[in-house]
C-alpha cells in the first residue's frame, strides 16, 4: 500500500455521494468493470490488456489482482459532480464475511452477471443476502463480446432466477460484424428498427408498467392505459424512486473493454441509486448495552463510524477502512474504539481511546490524503492500534456501538504449526494480526489435543489465510491432520485391588484399595463414591484415592485418551500407621483404575455433533445421500417455502465433519450452509478407534 502525494478531491455533501457494492460470482467481471469506470472518469489514465482479455491496473501485478478477488477492494470516482465509491466484493461463498462488510459500507448493490455464464446459484444466494437487508439493487450484464455470449438469455435468466422487479433498460445495437456498437434506451418511445430485439415494444411496455407500479403518481397508470405518451423525464424520476425503494431492479449491458454502456451506467449510479441520507443508518447502542438515539446522516451529528475492513501494511502498520454514518472524522482528533462481541473467535472486546492521524481516500492500493471524512463517506485510517474489523469509532465524550453485521460461523478446522523454531516466535503475532483483519476467523488452542486450529469458512478461505501468513506476515507454517479427540470408557464391570507398597529404608509407602467399577451413563464423567466399613482406609485418605483415580482418568489408560463415563466405588483397603500417606493412596487409586481397565476392558468413544444443514429444496436429496455416507442419523427436516430453503437436522460423528464444508459447497453449488453443536460421545467403530 502506497501513499499518493496528490490530494484526493474534496469530500462531497452526502446528497452527492454514492456508495456502491459490486456483487457477483467469481469470474463475472466485477473488477474489470470497476477498472472501466475508473478509466472513463479519469481516475486511471488507462487500463492494460492481459492475455485472458480482461484488464488490470497498471500499478498492480497479477498476484495483487488475484488477491482482490477474495478481498474487499475500494476505489472512488467523480462523475457529474458526484462522488462514487466502488466496493469490489469477493464472489466466492467462502468470503461472505467480506461481502457483508461491503454491503454495510454501501448504500446500493450493483450485480455483475456474465453474458457467457449467466446467473448461477451463488449469484442467487448473494442476491438474497442483499434482499435480506433491503439493499437497492441493479444488474449489469458484462462480457458481451466474448465467445458464447448470449445477452438475451442472460437477461431472461436474471428475470427468472432473481425474482420480480427485474427489467432491462436498453437494447443492444450491433454492427455488421456483430460487435456491440451502442445502447438504445427502452424509455424512448421508438427504439430503432435495427436493434437486436424483435419484441422491443413488449419490453418497453413491461419496463414502463414496472416503473409506474412504484410511482407515487396514481394517475400515471390511467394515462398510460389511455394511450397517452408519457414524458421520459417523468419516467426517469419515478425510476429513481423505484430503485431506491429496493423493489425495482434495472438491467444494463456494458462492454468494459470497448466502453459501450459505461456512460449510461455512470448516469444510472448518480441518478437512480440512493445517497446515504436516503438509505439510512444502522442501529446503535451505548457500550453499556443501553439504547442510543437513532442516527441520521448528518455531518454535524454525533460521530459514529465503523471499521469495515482491516489490513496490515509493512510500512503503515494497521490500515482501517471506515464508513462514517454520522458526524465528521478529522485528522488529529481523539476517537473511542468499541469492541464487537467476538471474544469467542479470538477478538477480545475493548473500549479504548485513540487518536486519528491522517485520513485518506483509497484507490486500490493507493491512499490519497483528504482533509476530512463527513457522514456518508468512506475513508482509510492508518495506525489505529486496537481497531479491528467490525469495531465502532465514536466520540470519547459520547461513545456509541454499531450493531454488528451477521458473520458466518467458520466450520472448517485447519491445524497449523510453525515450520521452524524461528517461525514459532513470529507465529503468535502473525495470527493476532490475521484475526484482527478477518472477523470470520476463529483461533483455538484445543486443550484435549494441543493443536492450534484456524477455523475457516471453507477451503478457499483457508488457502488465502495460509498464504497471507506466509507472504504478508512472513511466517512459514505447516498444516497437519486435525485430530478429533477420542475418549474411552469401561466395557464392563470389575472389582480389583490396587496395592502400592514400597520399602526402601526409613518410612516406606503403603496403600491398598479395593475398587469396584461399572460403566456410567453417557455424559456422566467420572463418578466416585466410598463405602468403607470399619475404617480400613482412614477418612483422610478417601480424597487421596479419588484424586489419584481422577488424575489417571484425565491422563488416559492407553495413550492420551481420557477415561470418561465410569462409576467407581471404594469398598475396602488397608493402611499402615506409619507408611501410609496421601501420595501412597493417590498412587494406589491410579493403579486400581489401570487394573480395572485391564480387567473390564475399554471401548473407544468418538464425539458426535448435532448439525442443521440449510439448503435450497432442490439439493435436499443430494445432501441426505451424502449424510448417510457419513454415518449420520437424519432426525428430521423442515421446509421454508417463502425462502425456498429446507433445514435438514442430523446427528453426525465429528470426524465426518472435518471435510464437510467443502463437500456441502460442491453438492449444493455453493448455496448450502450448516451449523453444529456438541452432542456427546458414542462408541467408535474399529476403523475409527485406532490405537492412540
Last residue of a domain, one of 254, 279, 304: 279
68 DSSP β-pair partners: none
| pLDDT over 50 (residue 50) | no
504 C-beta neighbours (distance < 10 Å), count = 7
Residue pLDDT, tens place only, 647-662: 999 999 999 999 999 9
Residues 310 and 394 in one domain: yes
How far CA 137 is from CA of 60, 303, 495, in Å, comes to 29, 28, 72
Sequence-distant (6+) residues with CB within 8 A of 321 are: 72, 74, 105, 307, 308, 309, 310, 311, 362, 378, 379, 380
Distances (CA, A) of 673 to 163, 181, 384, 639: 22, 43, 34, 15
Assess if residue 226 is contained within a domain. Answer: no
pLDDT band at 62 (very low <50, low <70, confident <90, very high): very low
Is residue 608 a part of any domain in this protein? yes
Domain total for the chain?
A: 5
Average pLDDT of 53-74? 45
Residue 151 sits in the same domain as residue 266: yes
Residue 219 lies in a domain: no
Report the CATH number that the domain containing residue 273 is assigned in CATH.
3.40.50.300
How far apart are alpha carbons 469 and 417 in whole angstroms?
A: 12
Q: Is the pLDDT of residue 587 over 50?
A: yes
Domain CATH code at residue 618: 3.30.70.240
**Do 24 and 60 sit in the same domain of this protein?**
yes
Task: Please write the tens of the pLDDT for every residue from 417-454.
Answer: 999 888 888 898 899 888 888 888 999 999 888 899 99
Query: Are 595 and 609 contained in the same domain?
Result: no
Say yes or no: 630 and 660 in one domain.
yes
Residues 24 and 113 placed together within one structural domain of the fold: yes
Please tell me whether residues 294 and 393 are part of one structural domain: yes
Q: Does residue 582 have a pLDDT over 80?
A: yes
Low-confidence winner among 77-81, 192-196, 251-255 (lowest mean pLDDT): 192-196
**Inter-residue contact 273 to 136 (CB < 8 Å):** yes
602-645 pLDDT per residue, tens: 999 999 999 999 999 999 999 999 999 999 999 999 998 877 88
Position 555 in a domain: yes
C-alpha cell at 351: 473500549
Distance CA 484, CA 36 (A): 49
420 and 498 both lie in a single domain: no
Indicate the residue among 480, 504, 536 that finishes a domain: 480
What's the burial of 287, exposed, middle or buried (CB within 10 Å: 0-12/13-18/19+)? middle
Distances (CA, A) of 591 to 189, 554, 555, 683: 94, 14, 13, 25
Whether residues 659 and 523 fall in one domain: no
CATH number at residue 563: 3.30.230.10
- Which strands, in side-by-side order, build the sheet including 494-502? 494-502, 509-519, 566-574, 526-530
State the pLDDT at residue 61: 36
* Mean pLDDT to the nearest integer, 378-405: 90
Secondary structure letter of residue 95 according to DSSP: G
- In order, the DSSP letters of 535-560 are SSS-GGGHHHHHHHHHHHHHH-SSTT
pLDDT at position 51 is 33
Contact present, 404 and 306 (Cβ < 8 Å) = no
Residue 301 lies inside a defined structural domain of this protein:
yes
Last residue of a domain, one of 422, 448, 480: 480
**Can you give the pLDDT at residue 26?**
80
In a domain, 337, yes or no: yes
**Domain match, 94 and 139 both:** yes
Contacts of 359 (CB under 8 A, 6+ apart): 329, 330, 331, 369, 370, 371, 372, 373, 379, 380, 381
Predicted confidence band of residue 505 (pLDDT cuts 50, 70, 90) = low
Assess whether 507 and 473 both reside in one domain.
no
CB–CB of 99/126 below 8 Å? yes
Q: How far apart are CA 391 and CA 308, in angstroms?
A: 8
Domain span holding position 437? 412-480
Question: Per-residue confidence at 241, pLDDT binned at 50, 70, 90?
Answer: confident
**CATH assignment of the domain containing 309:** 2.40.30.10
Q: Are residues 256 and 382 in the same domain?
A: no
List C-alpha distances in Å: 471 to 67, 99, 220, 567.
Answer: 12, 23, 60, 53
pTM score of the predicted model: 0.82
Q: Tell me if 164 is assigned to some domain.
A: yes
pLDDT cut 90: percent of the chain above it: 49
Is 241 a domain residue?
A: no
Report yes or no: 649 and 636 within 8 Å, Cβ to Cβ. yes
C-alpha grid cell, residue 473: 506476515
Query: CB of 564 within 8 A of CB of 517?
Result: no
Query: Does residue 3 carry a pLDDT above 60?
Result: no
**Least confident span in 83-87, 189-193, 205-209, 655-659:** 189-193
Please give the DSSP secondary-structure letter assigned to residue 316. Answer: T
Q: Say if residue 668's pLDDT is above 80.
A: yes
Amino acid at each position: 500500500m502506497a501513499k499518493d502525494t496528490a490530494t484526493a478531491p474534496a469530500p462531497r455533501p452526502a446528497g452527492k455521494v454514492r456508495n456502491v457494492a459490486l456483487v457477483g460470482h467469481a469470474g463475472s467481471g466485477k473488477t474489470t468493470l470497476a477498472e472501466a469506470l475508473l478509466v472513463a472518469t479519469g481516475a486511471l489514465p488507462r487500463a492494460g490488456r492481459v492475455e485472458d482479455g480482461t484488464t488490470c491496473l497498471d500499478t498492480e501485478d497479477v498476484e495483487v489482482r488475484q488477491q482482490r478477488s477474495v478481498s474487499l477492494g475500494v476505489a472512488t470516482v467523480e462523475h457529474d459532480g458526484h462522488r462514487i465509491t466502488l466496493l469490489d466484493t469477493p464472489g466466492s461463498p467462502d468470503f461472505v464475511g467480506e461481502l457483508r462488510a461491503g454491503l454495510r459500507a454501501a448504500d446500493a448493490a450493483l450485480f455483475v452477471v456474465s453474458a457467457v455464464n449467466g446467473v448461477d446459484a451463488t449469484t442467487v444466494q448473494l442476491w438474497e443476502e442483499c434482499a435480506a437487508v433491503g439493499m437497492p439493487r441493479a444488474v449489469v450484464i458484462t462480457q458481451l463480446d466474448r465467445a458464447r455470449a448470449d445477452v438475451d438469455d442472460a437477461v431472461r435468466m436474471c428475470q427468472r432466477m432473481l425474482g420480480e422487479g427485474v427489467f432491462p433498460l436498453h437494447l443492444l445495437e450491433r454492427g455488421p460484424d456483430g460487435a456491440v456498437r451502442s445502447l438504445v434506451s427502452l424509455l424512448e418511445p421508438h427504439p430503432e428498427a435495427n436493434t437486436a430485439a424483435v419484441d422491443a415494444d413488449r419490453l418497453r411496455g413491461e419496463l414502463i408498467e414496472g416503473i409506474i407500479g412504484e410511482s407515487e403518481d396514481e394517475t400515471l397508470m390511467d394515462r398510460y392505459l389511455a394511450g397517452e405518451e408519457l414524458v421520459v423525464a417523468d419516467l426517469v424520476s419515478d425510476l429513481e424512486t423505484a430503485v431506491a425503494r429496493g423493489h425495482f431492479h434495472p438491467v444494463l449491458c456494458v462492454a468494459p473493454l470497448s466502453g459501450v454502456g459505461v456512460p449510461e451506467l455512470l448516469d444510472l449510479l448518480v441518478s437512480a441509486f440512493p445517497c446515504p441520507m436516503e438509505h439510512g443508518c444502522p442501529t446503535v447502542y451505548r457500550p453499556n448495552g443501553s439504547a442510543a438515539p437513532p442516527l441520521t446522516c448528518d455531518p454535524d451529528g454525533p460521530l459514529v463510524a465503523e471499521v469495515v475492513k482491516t489490513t496490515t501494511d509493512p510500512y503503515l502498520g494497521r490500515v482501517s477502512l471506515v464508513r462514517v454514518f454520522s458526524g465528521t472524522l478529522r485528522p488529529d482528533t481523539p476517537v473511542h474504539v468499541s469492541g464487537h462481541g467476538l471474544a469467542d473467535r479470538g477478538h477480545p472486546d475493548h473500549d479504548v481511546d485513540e487518536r486519528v492521524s491522517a485520513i485518506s481516500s483509497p484507490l486500490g492500493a493507493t491512499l490519497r490524503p483528504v482533509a476530512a471524512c463527513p457522514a456518508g463517506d468512506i475513508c482509510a485510517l492508518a495506525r489505529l492500534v486496537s481497531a479491528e474489523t467490525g469495531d465502532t469509532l465514536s466520540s470519547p465524550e459520547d461513545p456509541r456501538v454499531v450493531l454488528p453485521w451477521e458473520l458466518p460461523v467458520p466450520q472448517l478446522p485447519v491445524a497449523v504449526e510453525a515450520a521452524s523454531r524461528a517461525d514459532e516466535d513470529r507465529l503468535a503475532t502473525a495470527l493476532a494480526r490475521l484475526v484482527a483483519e478477518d472477523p470470520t476467523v476463529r483461533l483455538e488452542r484445543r486443550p484435549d489435543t494441543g493443536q492450534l486450529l484456524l477455523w475457516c469458512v471453507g477451503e478457499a478461505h483457508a488457502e488465502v489465510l495460509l498464504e497471507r501468513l506466509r507472504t504478508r506476515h512472513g511466517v512459514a507454517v505447516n498444516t497437519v491432520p486435525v485430530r478429533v479427540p477420542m475418549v474411552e470408557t469401561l466395557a464392563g464391570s470389575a472389582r480389583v485391588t490396587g496395592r502400592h507398597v514400597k520399602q526402601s529404608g526409613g518410612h516406606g509407602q503403603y496403600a491398598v484399595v479395593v475398587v469396584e467399577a461399572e460403566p456410567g451413563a453417557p455424559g456422566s464423567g467420572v463418578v466416585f463414591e466410598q463405602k468403607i466399613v470399619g475404617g480400613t482406609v482412614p477418612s483422610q485418605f478417601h480424597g487421596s484415592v479419588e484424586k489419584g483415580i481422577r488424575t489417571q482418568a484425565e491422563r488416559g489408560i492407553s495413550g492420551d485418551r481420557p477415561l470418561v463415563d465410569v462409576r467407581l466405588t471404594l469398598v475396602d483397603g488397608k493402611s499402615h500407621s506409619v507408611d501410609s500417606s496421601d501420595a501412597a493412596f493417590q498412587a494406589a487409586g491410579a493403579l486400581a483404575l489401570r487394573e480395572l481397565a485391564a480387567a473390564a476392558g475399554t471401548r473407544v468413544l468418538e464425539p458426535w455433533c448435532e448439525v442443521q444443514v440449510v439448503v435450497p429444496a432442490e439439493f435436499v436429496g443430494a445432501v441426505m445421500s451424502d449424510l448417510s455416507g457419513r454415518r449420520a442419523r437424519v432426525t428430521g427436516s423442515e421446509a421454508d417455502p417463502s425462502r425456498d430453503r429446507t433445514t435438514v437436522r442430523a446427528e453426525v460423528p465429528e470426524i465426518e465433519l472435518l471435510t464437510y464444508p467443502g463437500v456441502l459447497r460442491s453438492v449444493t453449488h455453493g448455496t448450502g450452509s450448516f451449523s453444529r453443536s456438541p452432542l456427546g460421545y458414542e462408541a467408535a467403530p474399529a476403523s475409527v478407534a485406532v490405537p492412540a
